[in-house]
Chain A
Amino acid sequence: MGGISVRGVTQAFGASDDARRVTALEDATLEIPAGELMCLIGPSGCGKSSLLDIIAGLAKPVAGSVTIDGEPVRAPLPKRVSFVFQENALFPWLTVEENVLAALAFQGVPKAERRARAGEAIAAVGLDAFRTYHPRQLSGGMKQRAQLARAFSLQTEILLMDEPFAALDEQTRLLLGEDLSVLLARTHKTIVFVTHSLVEAVFLADRVAVFTARPGRVKTVLTVDEPHPRTQAFMTSAKLAGLRNELYELLYDEVRKTMETGAVA
């Protein structure tokens, strides 16, 4: 459950007669079977975040369609899709626990169940001791774990992650990636993970979809054949290095193109 099918999705911003109209995605097609961790990688501005919004029902594409288990996505699906964003998507005036409780309230979970679900999710990411802290009292890595707890508590079959580790330093990022892999190995969620980091994409994903420069199209899909959870050994293996190099070659021209045309995300 939770298979995503993206067919011929085109997304553009600006009126159709506007010369400055930006086509972020063009005819993007992708199949993500249930339970797979798919990474989306590509130069800035190639529509990766837009695609996540479309999958989540937060935006409507100009053309094409997205279906989840065969049903077309037309509106937000809070019971089937949850999101992890970059750093400041937590509510700063609420504690970690209150943030998770708010999400459960939004989703429509009955009040009696909320506390228990929040507690479970927070414990699962190892933040139990920090439940009553406010986001400004937490480090970057902990804030992201709090967001993860928030998303997990919603118990959705699909999890979308939009550059969740972008604001963290590389070392924290790598270690959090390892923790994430362990966590995800225990669930059967379908995960779509957008990142700019080559190593992160190879380390976490079952498959990596490489996007072209704007207008974004799926250039190719790499398969990472390695059991979950991914380990420190994999991180330092030649296999990962080889895949990373392959990704770099695939992306190089696209990123160059983006830099030269001055396209901005």
Chain B
Amino acid sequence: MQVACIVAFFGAWQIGSSSGYLDPLIVPSLSAIAVAFAALLHGGALWSDAGVTLYELAIAFALAAGAALSAGFVISRSALAVRVFDPLLAGLYAVPTILLFPSYLLFFGIGPPSKIALGATMAFFPIVLATIAGFAHVAPLRLRAARSMGASELQLFWYVLLPEAFPIVLAGLRMGLVLGFLAILGGETLTSNAGLGHQIVTAAESLDPPKMFAYIVVAVGLAVALNAVTSYVEQRARNTTA
């Protein structure tokens, strides 16, 4: 059923283009996009730009995850801290991160670092909130059981807290990864000198819609792949917990 919908959508698109109904400057035909896509694959430029975007994502995610996991865990240890910080962070999360971009540009310049900063900021919030949620609400009965058997603090963390919090934290990491990716792409389309977003905007400005759409296909493909991989990992983790 889903396949049928997708096929119908693309079929209608191709018909629209061939019949001249769709303005090729705004919506190029599928065949033109396919040609441009093939050209991208054969040329060398795609890999270096995709590489830049992925590099930015990797650094941003590492920074965000590192900070969020530690901060989240520390906050989760105290009920008072949770009451204070959880709503605060949730509120900040609602603020559009893109508003910080001009500041980041001023501070870091138009190269990758400003995109990394944007992506890291975006990714930080879902991860920290999930970490707090995961660790602060561990089933007290299991903690009581482990304590009664003489578990040390380290054993409590490794045997009780971590496995229990893991699926929730993983969900947060997945959100962080995807949102970070979107933020980076967005930042690249606004102001950058390299990366997939940059190429999308450049192609649009040089009135080369097939190339632009081809780059969009690559970006979408990456997003889908990221989401699929992390969903799979999450599903596996959920299967080994109650």
Interface residues of A (CB under 8 A from B): 53, 56, 58, 76, 78-79, 81-83, 85-86, 88-89, 91-93, 102-103, 105-108, 135-136, 154
Contact = CB atoms under 8 A, between A and B. Distances in A.
A79 B144 CA distance: 16
Interface string B148-178: 1111100100011001000000000000000
A89 B160 CA distance: 11
Nearest to A88: B141
Contact of B142 (A79, A89, A136): A89
| Interface of chain B, main secondary structure | helix
Contacts of A93: 163, 240-242
Interface residues of B, number: 19
Given A53-B144, A56-B148, A106-B146, 8 more contacts: A83-B148, A85-B144, A88-B139, A88-B142, A91-B142, A106-B151, A106-B159, A107-B149
A79 B150 contact: yes
A134 B108 CA distance: 51
A91 B148 contact: no
Contacts of B242: 88, 92-93, 135-136
A58 B139 contact: no
Nearest to A87: B141
A91 B151 CA distance: 14
B155 A89 contact: no
B149 A103 contact: yes
Contacts, number: 57
B8 interface: no
B100 interface: no
Interface in B210-242: 240-242
B145 interface: yes
B121 to A, nearest CB: 33
Q: Which of B142, B150, B151, B242 has the most CB of A within 10 A?
A: B150
Contacts of B151: 106
Given A79-B150, A85-B141, A89-B141, A106 B155 contact: yes
Contacts of B155: 105-106
A146 B108 CA distance: 58
A108 B152 CA distance: 10
Nearest to A102: B159
22 contacts: A53-B144, A56-B148, A58-B144, A76-B148, A78-B149, A82-B148, A83-B144, A83-B145, A83-B149, A85-B145, A88-B141, A89-B142, A89-B144, A103-B149, A106-B149, A106-B155, A106-B159, A107-B150, A108-B150, A135-B242, A136-B242, A154-B149
Nearest to A83: B148
A154 B149 CA distance: 8
B241 to A, nearest CB: 5
A176 B139 CA distance: 26
A86 to B, nearest CB: 7
Contacts of B142: 88-89, 91
A21 to B, nearest CB: 19
B147 interface: yes
Nearest to B142: A89
Contacts of A56: 148
Given A76-B150, A106-B150, A107-B150, A89 B145 contact: yes
Nearest to A134: B240
A91 B149 contact: no
Contacts of A89: 141-142, 144-145
Nearest to B149: A106
A200 to B, nearest CB: 21
